[in-house]
Amino acid sequence: MEKVTVRFAPSPTGPLHIGGARSALFNYLEARHTGGRFIVRIEDTDLERSKREFEDEIIQSLKWLGLDWDEGIVVGGENGPYRQTERLEIYQQYVRKLLEEDQAYYCFCTEEELEKEREQQMAADGLVRYSGKCSHLSREEVQKRIAAGEKPAVRLRVPPGKQLEVHDYVRGDVRFDTDTMGDFIIVKNDGIPVYNFAVVLDDVLMGVTLVMRAEEHLSNTPRQLLIYQALGFPTPAFAHVSLILGSDHQKMSKRHGATSVMAYREMGYLPEAVFNFLALLGWSPEGEQEIMTQEEIIAQFDVNRVSKSPAVFDLNKLNYINQQHIKRLSLEEFKRRMRPYLENSEFSEDIKTLSEEKYSVLAQALKDRLVCLADVKDQARVFLRRQEPEKEAQELLAIPENQAMLKTFAEEFSAFDFQEAAEIKSFIKKFIKNHQLNAKNVYMPLRSALTGVTHGPDLPWLILFWDKQETLDRIWTALE
Ligand code: GLU
């Protein structure tokens, strides 16, 4: 059987968004699952809006997500170049062929003329399509006008009354009618081919067998089918993946939160979590298990299980998935990933001078508490700074029984030596038992004295982090 070849073809007109990343991911998964080929190429024919910075950012985002590709931009390959603006010569050859075969023709209509035509059609039957005004110009006339300096566009002749049909993995058999289409432009009058034309040639010349992309491109598909037919190329399979909606079921936009992949990186989402989350936006595994590694997702991905209904971007779900992936990290890996988020915070100096041992304690204390790595900026505060007791803590510290308990605790604690959090935990337990106290009546005042607040990371970790002297110092200071 023919090897699957899929591609991701972003336009570098902005950062990589969640929707684009999902398209890239599904293509990647299809290629890796089937042992096929994944191509990444750049659709930069929108000269005004395309920027190299965006291209770089898109590539960086794909790499961050853990995607790699077998052919295309950066990695090269035998079907390059992989930027459309560097392929203009290639497109030209095929335009010439279509013109020679009279499957396409030059169109000299100006923007104003076309606008007028549109207005008239709107007023008449509301069906807007090119009238075909230039479709009958003689060769001589065309040559004369070009020689006189006019810059024509090129239009494809669209056969009227034709039914186009494709199979779409997501949408089933889709039919289109050519009657309402009108001859459409394939090369603009600045010589730059339009997306529909360039994309078909790229897909054909790069051997793409499955075009998987966002649903919004479904409406481009009939034009692309006509181009395949005019050029005499077989059509690939298609899969138009449904939209991503925000929590209010409107099309996902900035209103719903960050839309660029890099923003999620900055917020401290793990790439493997974003990978996992995006995979579930429109695809579902057969089993119940949703927290999956990259390998597990690749093993199970099936384009036939991509859903037709729109996916909803649920931030709570992403948070949950992220938390689960943080928990799965080894301590060493977690320490490595957490570090930059601390280094870029108000604690950067503290982190530089912190011993490896202390940093490990901090990491162990926080690993199961973080939703995002960037949360470490808030969670680390209690370890690294002292703070005046809050109201609730003050109230607890003002109670005479609590003060007496803390004094006794401090005295006994000063004679206690420890190396591990577990030892501290059992010390506190024993203290509670020996003095026949209620656990809550020990933990709450102790935490208030040590941290100034009534909730936070486990006390044994905090105490281990500060060590004996600092712990005692905090208790005595609170008692004063
Ligand atoms: N450049 C298009 C986009 O960014 C992709 C078109 C396609 O995949 O055919 O949406």
For 188-214, the pLDDT digits (tens) are 999 999 999 999 999 999 999 999 999
**Helix (H) / strand (E) containing 112:** helix 111-124
**Domain membership flag for residue 121:** yes
Residue type, 440: K
In the reported structure, the alpha carbon of residue 11 is separated from the centroid of ligand 1 by a whole-number distance in angstroms of 7
Are 236 and 2 in contact, with CB atoms under 8 Å apart? no
Of 173, 208, 241, the one marking the end of a domain is: 241
What residue owns the CA closest to ligand 1's atom 3? 10
Are 238 and 228 in contact, with CB atoms under 8 Å apart? no
Residues of the chain with pLDDT under 70: 1
Rounded CA-CA distance 121/104 in Å is 23
Ligand 1 test: best mutation among 199, 219, 220, most atoms within 8 Å of CB? 199
Ligand 1: nearest atom to the Cα of 220: 9
Ligand 1 test: best mutation among 43, 208, 235, most atoms within 8 Å of CB? 43
In the reported structure, the alpha carbon of residue 97 is separated from the centroid of ligand 1 by a whole-number distance in angstroms of 25
In the reported structure, the alpha carbon of residue 122 is separated from the centroid of ligand 1 by a whole-number distance in angstroms of 29
pLDDT given at position 454:
93
Ligand 1: nearest atom to the Cα of 43: 1
Of 217, 241, 265, the one marking the end of a domain is: 241
Ligand 1 test: best mutation among 6, 87, 195, most atoms within 8 Å of CB? 195
Are 332 and 364 in contact, with CB atoms under 8 Å apart? no
CA distances from 1 to 34, 205, 215 (A): 11, 19, 28
151 is catalytic: no
Domain limits for position 228: 87-241
Question: Which burial class, exposed, middle or buried, applies to 16 when counting CB atoms under 10 A from its CB (0-12, 13-18, 19+)?
Answer: buried
| Order of strands, sheet of 71-72, starting from the edge strand that comes earlier in the sequence | 5-8, 37-40, 71-72
In the reported structure, the alpha carbon of residue 86 is separated from the centroid of ligand 1 by a whole-number distance in angstroms of 17
For residues 91 and 236, membership in a common domain is answered with yes
Which residue in 254, 407, 429, 433 is the catalytic one?
Answer: 254
Cα angle value 120/123/128 (rounded, 5°): 65
The angle that helices 459-479 and 421-434 make with each other, rounded to 10 degrees, is 60
For 7, phi then psi, to 5°, come to: -150, 160
pLDDT given at position 1:
67
pLDDT given at position 31:
98
DSSP letter assigned to residue 76: B
In the reported structure, the alpha carbon of residue 416 is separated from the centroid of ligand 1 by a whole-number distance in angstroms of 66
**Domain membership flag for residue 28:** no
For residues 91 and 224, membership in a common domain is answered with yes
Which segments of 208-350 are extended strands (E)? 210-214, 237-241, 244-245, 311-312
pLDDT given at position 271:
98
For residues 102 and 214, membership in a common domain is answered with yes
Report the CATH number at residue 116: 3.40.50.620
pLDDT given at position 386:
94
pLDDT given at position 119:
94
**Domain membership flag for residue 415:** yes
**Count of domains for the chain:** 2
In the reported structure, the alpha carbon of residue 10 is separated from the centroid of ligand 1 by a whole-number distance in angstroms of 5
**Domain membership flag for residue 422:** yes
For residues 227 and 351, membership in a common domain is answered with no
Ligand 1: nearest atom to the Cα of 13: 4
Cβ-based neighbours of 76, under 8 Å, separated by 6 or more = 82
239: Cβ below 6 Å to ligand 1?
no
Reduced to 3 states (helix: H, G, I; strand: E, B; else coil), residue 43 is: coil
Residue type, 413: F
Which segments of 278-373 are extended strands (E)? 311-312
| Token duo for residue 254 | 């900035």
**Domain membership flag for residue 472:** yes
199: Cβ below 6 Å to ligand 1?
yes
Q: Is the peptide bond before 81 cis (omega within 30 degrees of 0)?
A: yes
Of 224, 241, 258, the one marking the end of a domain is: 241
For residues 346 and 219, membership in a common domain is answered with no
Cβ-based neighbours of 281, under 8 Å, separated by 6 or more = 18, 22, 244, 311, 313
Report the CATH number at residue 396: 1.10.10.350
Ligand 1: nearest atom to the Cα of 199: 9
45: Cβ below 6 Å to ligand 1?
no
224: Cβ below 6 Å to ligand 1?
no
**Domain membership flag for residue 302:** no
Rounded CA-CA distance 306/281 in Å is 9
Rounded CA-CA distance 443/428 in Å is 9
**Domain membership flag for residue 26:** no
**Domain membership flag for residue 265:** no
pLDDT given at position 368:
95
In the reported structure, the alpha carbon of residue 246 is separated from the centroid of ligand 1 by a whole-number distance in angstroms of 21
